[in-house]
Amino acid sequence: MATPNPDEIEDDAARGAGTVRARLVRTLSRPRTALGVTMGPGTVWIAGLLVAPLVFMLAVSFTTTNLTDYNIIWEPTLARFRELLGGSVDAGLLDGGSVVLLEVGSFQLRATAFEKAILLSYAIATVTTLLCLALAFPLAYLLARRSGPLVKATIFLMLLPFFTMYLVRAYSWVLMFGSKGVINSALGAVGVGPLEVFNYGVPATIVGLTHAYYPYMLLTLYASMDGLDFSLVEAARDLGASRIDVIRDQIIPLTMPGIVGGSLFVFVPSVGAFITPQILGQGKVQMVGILIERWVYESRLSLASAGSMFVVVSIVAAMVLAFRYVELDELGGA
Amino acid sequence: MATDTDTDTEPDVADVAGSRLDHRLVDRLLRGSLYTVAALIMLFLWVPLLIMIVLSFADPATTLAGVEELTLDNYQLAVSDENMWSALRGSLAIATASATIATVLGVLASFALTRFGYRFLNVFRTFGILPMIIPGVILGVGLRIYFREVFAREWLGLVALLESPTGFVPVVLAHSVYGLPFVLLVVTARLYTFDESLESFEDFIRALFLTKFSTPVVTQWMFQQIENLNAPKLNPVATMIVAIIAVALAVAMNVGNVTGYVAGTVDDEE
Amino acid sequence: MLQDDNGTGSGVSTGNGRSRGRRIDRRTYLAGAGAAGLAAAAGCTGNGGGGGTTINILTWEEFREMEENIEETLDVSINIEASASSSTMFQRWNQGADEEFDVVVPNNNLVPRFLESELIAPVDTNAVTNYGGIYDKFQQFVDQQFTRDGNAYGVPIRWGWYGYSYDTRSVPEHDPSYQVVFEDDYVDADLSGNIVMYDEANKTMPVAALYLAEARDDPSYREALEGEEMTFSEEQINEMQDLLVEQKSRLQGYISKDPRFISGFTQGNFLVGHSGRNETIEMRTSGEDWVEFVVPQEGAMAWYETAVVSAASDDTEAAWEVVNEFIAPENGAALARAGFSPSCNPDVADQLTEEQNELYGRISPERLEEFIPLKDIADDVEREYSNAWNNVKAA
């Protein structure tokens, strides 16, 4: 690939070579032009709509927002991060300005609303991810081992709710939960309920999120298992390996990319979830997305930016760790 | 699609020594429990939707217990809702515009990504995939603050377009950014190799891609309905969406097969 | 910070709290739909269309009910763009929309902000002939909250108030008091897990303050609510936070939308709900006669929407004439029926049926004394106030 000469276009023109179309084709076939045409628009898009907003948000997170006229005061400060993480913004913050995170007997661990929201979000996202994994693994295995119309129908039925939009699915659980919702009414009718766990709250939120993101996990696992050579598994079994051995030594390592990928697809949106906890938490479950949204709504833009940056950085860090772990694991052949 | 057949899991009876008989039993039990799990999962996925579908024909439309009669009134109510139609039109426009943008940008970039070895292309790839690991709410908030502070000035006439989180332009822009990673993944995988083992992976990415772009459909309208829990109108609309998507998906899955045959990548499908 | 009744509703809530939920329902729903697009388009082009004057208005959905009639009466053309939140109204105007709209109708607590940002013009008393007809109490509020150099800057249009409602089938009759939502043994019924509060700081925090004023016999909590803005001390905010955190374990949840409140209540998900009066009216209207709405003895918060006119309007006189029509009997009655909320002009009641009057018509001036208008939190404790609510929601 020769380095193109920018003057060539003019040379072409001077020589009057070829038609417009020929010139166009020739121009486009030069590497640098081709690169410009192919990468240019995407780069502009990513720079302008992904990198720029994130960088802007990063900058805003080090500012103060005037709460009277909602304008950003461009003076660098770390105050927003201290506000988030219970620093010394105001003296009362750690007592009156905080909430109880953990209480065992007389021992009390306190946290800011943001810290609690972050921990709650990560906890909910983790449980959701594990639930999805546990529920999707057997089914993905079954689908990968079999073929035919039944598999196709199953995939169809699994995908359908998936395409039916997040909102509709979250809403369908609104009808199910609640002290007089479908589940508790049914339990009440058979004399078991109503049970608190089927009221709106954290469990309802987890169920809603699991329902929402389950197909992501299933599809990712299925995609990674579908390429597997199951004769290895059979061979191992023939050599006397127990089922658990086979799952641990063969299937899990081989499908690790799918497990990590699926977990990522479930975990990330669960951390940032805000419609599901809003609808199914009945205002009592304050995940980090809800808190950040409220700050934006209140025009506390600096604080919202700082909170967002914290979430982004923590997720990226978690992902880096996750991918490292997987690679190591695969190398070790565990 | 899987190339295995049932015989993989069912050892030929003639070859089996007596000591392996209980293995067969365990196999059966395991397989049985797998099917049970699958059935339970199916229930989990479908029960709330089925209840919603039933309620779409019910009056009153809020709880199963109180249903007095089955009727099509809810459908009539929903279909005559002008807001629903305008939301639907708007959402289709958003989905089309954002998918088009993402596809054009993604396909163009994928050519370069697979053809050239410049180092900055890796940077591009990393950033191109980034939207996948940033929660939507965060990027949404970022874009809102960015538009509001940098561009949105009422005298530019942009504020209504850019400031409102549900406005046409910001939603299209945000969705096009969100769709980009999926296009990049599908197309680069395609261009690198025609390896058939990627088939299902591609199907999957395609599925994700479609979902990404089906989300804005009637979302705003639905959101208001859900916030206000307007069950009589919401249930029928949601049900109709399920029905439409069922048809579209069935078609897509079969067309996908056809293209598989044409490309010669499907050999043993029924 | 929590600048209006929607201030703390999460960004998720697109509406303006329960009291306005029905904006997107009923007749207005259909009527508004087509017009929304047109109005939005027209809004961008400023004065256009029609031969005469065009008045562009940013307001609540139900105001469309009056559109046609006002156009006929005044021979102006009106463009209404619906907004769901007072703070959005302010933000848009503050960013330049005051050039584009002539009239905006935010909640009363936002008006001082419009005033401080020099966005609005004083009331043209010649044009607003109905001003003298509105309840004295609201005229006092105007004097108190947004009168500068003897000039009033806004006209109260309609209003409502908050108390709580309960299910008379399960909760025995009792002296109305917020004790019912804060104390376990106030009534002889197990209310644990059966109470909902408003999902909004500016409605729920004042309830905590009113309760504490009585329970601690400390009138300073009430006094903090009575000025131009809420002037709680940090300690008071901490006490309110503690009270609400303690209450949270007894709550079924927090709800910010009328329909969700109504369907949850009807379904039996809770027995006592902090609510506006109009939710209850809507429920009774649809036959749920077991709902009882009461105003607690500690006092109640009230809201009122206030029309203001842009200082940049080309024709402030015409704009004020349109505002005048909002509280004219016939239009005011249409608005009251659409939103289940009474007009600030008692004369509107003449246009309502007896039954409607009972629900959202005239009220005796003495009763108005019980109500404290919703207002902003004072700047110096704004952060603490906002954080306190976030902490309650986090607890």
Q: In chain A, what residues touch C11 (CB-CB under 8 Å)?
A: 293-294, 296-297
Taking CA–CA distances from A307, the nearest residue in chain B reads B138
Question: Rounded to the nearest 10 degrees, how much is the dihedral formed by the CA atoms of C258, C260, C262, C267?
Answer: -170
Terminal-residue alpha carbon distance, chain B:
11
Task: Give the DSSP H or E segment for A95.
Answer: none
Q: Which residue has the tokens 């050579």?
A: A229
Q: How far is A184 from chain B (nearest CA, A)?
A: 11
The pLDDT of residue B211 is 52
Average pLDDT of every residue of chain C:
82
Q: What are the backbone angles phi and psi of residue C291, rounded to the nearest 5°?
A: -85, 130
Nearest to A293 among C10, C196, C379 (CB): C10
Provide the 10 A C-beta neighbour count for residue B66.
Answer: 13
| pLDDT, tens digit (0-9, with 9 covering 90-100), for B193-236 | 444 444 555 555 555 555 555 554 445 555 556 555 566 777 78
Q: For residues C271-284, give the mean pLDDT.
A: 87
CA angle C199, A277, B141 (to 5 degrees): 85
Q: What is the CATH number of the domain that holds B234?
A: 1.10.3720.10
* Chain A interface, best mutation among C10, C92, C261, by max A CB count within 10 A: C10
Q: In chain B, what residues touch A49 (CB-CB under 8 Å)?
A: 143, 173-174, 176-177
Could A113 and C238 be called an inter-chain contact, meaning their C-beta atoms sit closer than 8 Å? no
B104 and B208, same domain (yes or no) = yes
Query: Out of B35-49, C64-78, C112-126, which region has the weakest mean confidence (pLDDT)?
Result: B35-49
Provide the 10 A C-beta neighbour count for residue B37.
Answer: 16
Q: What are the backbone angles phi and psi of residue B218, rounded to the nearest 5°?
A: 50, 20
* Chain B interface, best mutation among C44, C58, C254, by max B CB count within 10 A: C44
* Structure tokens belonging to residue A188: 């009440």
Q: For residues C313-327, give the mean pLDDT.
A: 93
Taking CA–CA distances from C248, the nearest residue in chain A reads A284
Nearest to C21 among B155, B165, B228 (CB): B228
Nearest to A167 among B44, B111, B223 (CB): B223
d(CA C234, CA C229): 15
d(CA B149, CA B164): 13
Could C257 and B63 be called an inter-chain contact, meaning their C-beta atoms sit closer than 8 Å? no
CA angle C327, C227, C3 (to 5 degrees): 70
Q: In chain A, what residues touch B51 (CB-CB under 8 Å)?
A: 172, 175-176, 182
**With an 8 Å Cβ cutoff, is A319 touching chain B?**
yes
Q: For residues C168-189, give the mean pLDDT.
A: 92
B133 and B45, same domain (yes or no) = no
A270-279, A305-314, C36-45, C79-88 — most confident range: A305-314
d(CA C83, CA B163): 14
Residue A245 makes CB contacts below 8 A (sequence gap 6+) with A236
Task: Give the DSSP H or E segment for C274.
Answer: strand C272-276
| Residue C193 near residue C252 (C-beta atoms within 8 A) | yes
Number of H helices, E strands in chain C: 16, 13
B108 and B33, same domain (yes or no) = no
Identify whether B188 is part of a domain.
yes
- DSSP 8-class letter at A47: I
- pLDDT exceeds cutoff 60 at A224: yes
Return the domain boundaries, chain A. 8-55, 65-109, 112-332
**With an 8 Å Cβ cutoff, is A146 touching chain B?**
yes
Domain region containing B43: 6-56
B132 and B231, same domain (yes or no) = yes
Alpha helices, H only, chain A: 8-15, 20-29, 31-46, 52-60, 79-84, 113-145, 149-163, 166-176, 182-189, 202-226, 230-238, 243-246, 252-271, 275-280, 288-297, 301-332
Nearest to B229 among C91, C95, C259 (CB): C259
d(CA C221, CA C238): 12
Taking CA–CA distances from A172, the nearest residue in chain B reads B48
d(CA C72, CA C64): 14
* Chain A interface, best mutation among B41, B44, B45, by max A CB count within 10 A: B45
Residue A98 makes CB contacts below 8 A (sequence gap 6+) with A86, A110, A111, A112, A113, C391
- pLDDT exceeds cutoff 50 at C2: no
d(CA A35, CA A53): 25
Q: For residues C261-272, give the mean pLDDT.
A: 87
C-alpha closest to that of A113 among C383, C250, C196: C383
Could A96 and C234 be called an inter-chain contact, meaning their C-beta atoms sit closer than 8 Å? yes
Task: Give the DSSP H or E segment for C71.
Answer: helix C67-74
Q: How far is C69 from chain A (nearest CA, A)?
A: 35
Nearest to A160 among B146, B150, B249 (CB): B249
d(CA B48, CA A148): 28
C-alpha closest to that of C23 among C274, C282, C201, C268: C282
Rounded-to-5 percentages of helix, strand, coil across chain B: 80, 0, 20
Total tally of structural domains belonging to chain B: 2
The pLDDT of residue C20 is 37
Q: In chain A, what residues touch C198 (CB-CB under 8 Å)?
A: none
B45 and B81, same domain (yes or no) = no
Residue C269 makes CB contacts below 8 A (sequence gap 6+) with A178, A179, A180, A181, C252
Q: In chain A, what residues touch B88 (CB-CB under 8 Å)?
A: none
Could A284 and C245 be called an inter-chain contact, meaning their C-beta atoms sit closer than 8 Å? no
Count of CB pairs separated by less than 8 Å, A with B: 274
User: What separation in angstroms does the CA of B12 have from each of A1, B16, C8, C121?
Assistant: 59, 7, 68, 91
User: What separation in angstroms does the CA of A231 have from each of A134, A234, A305, C323?
Assistant: 24, 5, 52, 80
Provide the 10 A C-beta neighbour count for residue C263.
Answer: 21
Q: Positive or negative, the Cα torsion across A169, A175, A178, A179?
A: negative
d(CA A254, CA A228): 8
Could C99 and B83 be called an inter-chain contact, meaning their C-beta atoms sit closer than 8 Å? no
Q: Which residue has the higher pLDDT, C26 or A328?
A: A328
Taking CA–CA distances from A296, the nearest residue in chain C reads C11
**With an 8 Å Cβ cutoff, is A80 touching chain C?**
no
Could C234 and A98 be called an inter-chain contact, meaning their C-beta atoms sit closer than 8 Å? no
What radius of gyration do chain C's Cα atoms show?
20
The pLDDT of residue C219 is 93
| pLDDT, tens digit (0-9, with 9 covering 90-100), for C355-394 | 888 878 878 888 888 788 888 888 888 888 988 999 999 8
- pLDDT exceeds cutoff 90 at A206: yes
The pLDDT of residue B50 is 85
Query: Out of A112-116, A176-180, A250-254, B134-138, which region has the weakest mean confidence (pLDDT)?
Result: A250-254
Q: For residues C14-23, give the mean pLDDT.
A: 35
Per cent of chain C over pLDDT 70 is: 87
Taking CA–CA distances from B240, the nearest residue in chain A reads A164
- DSSP 8-class letter at C200: -
Residue C304 β-bridge partners: C159
**With an 8 Å Cβ cutoff, is C254 touching chain A?**
yes
C-alpha closest to that of C345 among C187, C182, C191, C159: C159
Q: What are the backbone angles phi and psi of residue C104, rounded to the nearest 5°?
A: -140, 150
- pLDDT exceeds cutoff 90 at C56: yes
B34 and B150, same domain (yes or no) = no
The pLDDT of residue C6 is 29
Query: Out of A308-312, B116-120, C298-302, C317-321, which region has the weakest mean confidence (pLDDT)?
Result: B116-120
User: What separation in angstroms does the CA of B105 have from each of A48, A51, A70, A198?
Assistant: 14, 16, 36, 46
| pLDDT, tens digit (0-9, with 9 covering 90-100), for C134-163 | 999 899 889 888 898 889 999 999 998 899
Could C96 and B230 be called an inter-chain contact, meaning their C-beta atoms sit closer than 8 Å? no
Identify whether B61 is part of a domain.
no
| 3-class state of residue A159 by DSSP | helix
Residues 238-257 of C with CB under 8 A from B: 257
Residue B9 makes CB contacts below 8 A (sequence gap 6+) with A145, B27, B31
Counted residue by residue, chain A has a size of 334
Residues 175-234 of C with CB under 8 A from B: none
**With an 8 Å Cβ cutoff, is A278 touching chain C?**
yes
Taking CA–CA distances from B206, the nearest residue in chain A reads A219
Alpha helices, H only, C147-257: 179-182, 201-215, 220-226, 234-248
Angle of helix C234-248 relative to helix C382-394, nearest 10 degrees, comes to 10
Q: Which fold has domain A112-332?
A: MetI-like fold (1.10.3720)
Provide the pLDDT confidence category of residue C13 given band limits of 50, 70 and 90.
Answer: very low
Identify whether B130 is part of a domain.
yes
| Residue A219 near residue A132 (C-beta atoms within 8 A) | no
Task: Quickly list DSSP for B70-133.
Answer: E-SHHHHHHHT-HHHHHHHHHHHHHHHHHHHHHHHHHHHHHHHHHH---HHHHHHHHHHHGGGG
Interface partners of chain C (CB pairs < 8 Å, 3 or more) are A, B
Q: In chain C, what residues touch B86 (CB-CB under 8 Å)?
A: 33-34, 36-37
Residues 143-172 of B with CB under 8 A from C: 152-155, 157, 159-160, 163, 165
* Structure tokens belonging to residue A275: 């419609």
Q: How far is C134 from chain B (nearest CA, A)?
A: 32
Task: Quickly list DSSP for B186-252.
Answer: HHHHHHH---GGGHHHHHHHHHHHHHHHHTTTTHHHHHHHHHTT-HHHHHHHHHHHHHHHHHHHHHH
Same fold, C18-159+304-363 and C160-301+377-394: yes
Could A222 and B204 be called an inter-chain contact, meaning their C-beta atoms sit closer than 8 Å? yes
Taking CA–CA distances from B225, the nearest residue in chain C reads C24
B29 and B136, same domain (yes or no) = no
Nearest to C1 among A98, A278, A300 (CB): A300
| 3-class state of residue A109 by DSSP | strand
Q: Which residues of A8-41 are buried (b: 16+ CB within 10 A; e: fewer)?
A: eeeeeeeeeeeeeeeeeeeeeebeebbbeebbeb
| Assigned superfamily of C160-301+377-394 | Periplasmic binding protein-like II (3.40.190.10)
d(CA B256, CA A286): 42
Could A181 and C10 be called an inter-chain contact, meaning their C-beta atoms sit closer than 8 Å? no
Provide the pLDDT confidence category of residue C322 given band limits of 50, 70 and 90.
Answer: very high
Nearest to A138 among B37, B138, B250 (CB): B37
The pLDDT of residue B132 is 77
Question: Rounded to the nearest 10 degrees, how much is the dihedral formed by the CA atoms of A89, A92, A98, A102?
Answer: 120
Q: Which residue has the higher pLDDT, C187 or A193?
A: C187
ipTM for the whole complex: 0.78
**With an 8 Å Cβ cutoff, is A135 touching chain B?**
yes
Could A42 and B142 be called an inter-chain contact, meaning their C-beta atoms sit closer than 8 Å? no
B83 and B48, same domain (yes or no) = no
Query: Out of A149-153, A275-279, C12-16, which region has the weakest mean confidence (pLDDT)?
Result: C12-16
Residue B120 makes CB contacts below 8 A (sequence gap 6+) with none
The pLDDT of residue A227 is 66
B113 and B228, same domain (yes or no) = yes
**With an 8 Å Cβ cutoff, is C130 touching chain A?**
no
Taking CA–CA distances from C18, the nearest residue in chain B reads B228
Q: For residues C257-269, give the mean pLDDT.
A: 82
- pLDDT exceeds cutoff 70 at C294: yes
| Assigned superfamily of C18-159+304-363 | Periplasmic binding protein-like II (3.40.190.10)
| pLDDT, tens digit (0-9, with 9 covering 90-100), for A118-157 | 999 999 999 999 999 998 888 888 887 777 777 777 777 7
| Residue C312 near residue C120 (C-beta atoms within 8 A) | no
* Structure tokens belonging to residue A12: 């072409």
**With an 8 Å Cβ cutoff, is C267 touching chain B?**
yes
| Residue C179 near residue C256 (C-beta atoms within 8 A) | no
B117 and B20, same domain (yes or no) = no
Interface partners of chain B (CB pairs < 8 Å, 3 or more) are A, C
